[in-house]
Amino acid sequence: MPEISAANLIPENFNIRGTTADIAGQIGLIWELIRTPLIVPLLRVAVYICLAMSLMLFFERLYMGIVILLVKLFWKKPEKRYKWEPMRDDLEIGNAAFPMVLVQIPMFNEKEVYKISIGAACNLSWPSDRFVIQVLDDSTDPVIKDMVEKECQRWASKGINCRYQIRENRGGYKAGALKEGLKHDYVKDCEYVAIFDADFRPEPDFLRRAIPFLMHNSDIALVQARWRFVNADECLLTRMQEMSLDYHFTVEQEVGSSTHAFFGFNGTGGIWRIAAINEAGGWKDRTTVEDMDLAVRAGLKGWKFVYLGDLQVKSELPSTFKAFRFQQHRWSCGPANLFRKMVMEIVRNKKIAVWKKVYVIYSFFFVRKVIAHMITFFFYCVVLPLTILVPEVDVPKWGAIYIPCIITTLNSVGTPRSIHLLFYWILFENVMSLHRTKATFIGLLEAKRANEWVVTEKLGDALKNKSNVKGKPKKIGFKIGDRIHLLELGFAAFLFFCGCYDFLYGKNNYFIYLFLQVITFTIAGFGYVGTIVPSS
């Protein structure tokens, strides 16, 4: 067999020392040489894979859409499906009618929101001698630690059992703090634990509405409430997040609860049965989604979960692009990494039915946590633009237009008030799919940033307070590293080139979508997304 060398592939008239025009011509010659035997087959395979993933996501969304419609029309409310009785004061036994509840509030340098969260927890409508507020402060700033401790002491002086807890190091981050919190002696009397992140504000009747599900149903381990957002109207970034999260709560969590009594714990705004936590193996810090990890392990033990869509907890969305990117990295990388670690454990489990295993592996993990990110990025930001440069490869209209439109329409049901933002939401989700896909691969491969944990920055009333300060307005700080994002700008340039080529030579008019996507990538690339925090 004759040897193949570079000389066999490169034309004899290729000249690397010519003018720019000559070099461009030679590159064009190389492109024509490799396009038919190499690029076209590879791109066709990529299109087939993307179409298959698109169909998987389409049928998953369609399935959930049908189920949620049936749930709204015919399913009984959770109070009717499970045993539930309202909490009432008992004159004979007094406060003993109320079980002991632990309320955990994990914190890390939460200067702007610590008062709100502690105050909301301390104002819960529950006998003061039947619940414990446990503030788990991992703050590294001594000034903030002192402020949080004094706030706990202030509430303790009012007769609220508010405990301020610190530890020697931040090992395990949030999971480590929650695990350490359950080890204290006074916790052994508590049957249930409610968890609220530092920006969450439960309504006073939260425990009275949720605890009865756990009291009267011994097989229920978790009651999860819905998140509502106090700053959803702050900027366009928060509106986009509201649309995505409302779909998650309105559809995904409701479907999982109604059909399988299983869903992923959201990490906050929920109440656990402490016995279920212990049986599942307790909190683990092997991934950045300790909440999902615990939920899956408890589900494999046969425990059931209940989602209450009408029990809502106020919270705050990250309003800076930097904070949002870190959060999305954690939320995308963690589930992929957990899937890698637990898939065989789920397969081998003998306590749950086969149909539930299929649901957890295929729907919960594979389609929603892996496929959904990859199809959004690869198909609409890479493969589809490349087919413009290689007209021999055709993408059927049902895959390029019809299915994405149906999926998008199904995604919009969670936030009807933002239906007019739907088109921009698509463009913005495509930009974020770049980071989510990268994070998903990092999680699946357990690469360097797989266990990176960056606490999501909360602004609380910081911006409002700064805007009310009298005097000369401060200049907005500009840091190149924070404001210039080369990945986004690089894809903007690539899509702009593809759009121009389609405008000049194409036949499908994809350039309309591509130029709009270029604008969105460029805006994100220069950091003009979300709230710009003034430098102090």
State the catalytic residue, choosing from 137, 199, 246, 291: 291
The sign of the dihedral angle between the CA atoms of 452, 364, 427, 230 is negative
CA distance 246 to 298: 25
At 364 the three-state DSSP class reads helix
Polymer length of the chain: 536
Q: Are strands 304-315 and 270-273 parallel, antiparallel or unpaired?
A: unpaired
Least Cα distance to 534 among 469, 434, 446, 466 occurs for: 466
Catalogue the E-assigned strands of 70-217: 101-107, 131-137, 162-165, 192-195
Here the tokens at position 73 are: 């029309």
Q: Is 291 an annotated catalytic residue?
A: yes
Measured CA distances, 302 to 262, 344, 349, 352, 530 (Å)? 10, 17, 10, 6, 42
Element (H, E) at 113: none
Q: Is 394 an annotated catalytic residue?
A: no
State the catalytic residue, choosing from 138, 199, 246, 502: 138
What number of CA atoms fall less than 13 Å from residue 469's CA on the CB side? 11
CA distance 407 to 430: 14
CA distance 532 to 530: 7
AA identity, residue 487: L
Here the tokens at position 439 are: 């994070």
At 220 the three-state DSSP class reads strand
Catalytic residues: 138, 291
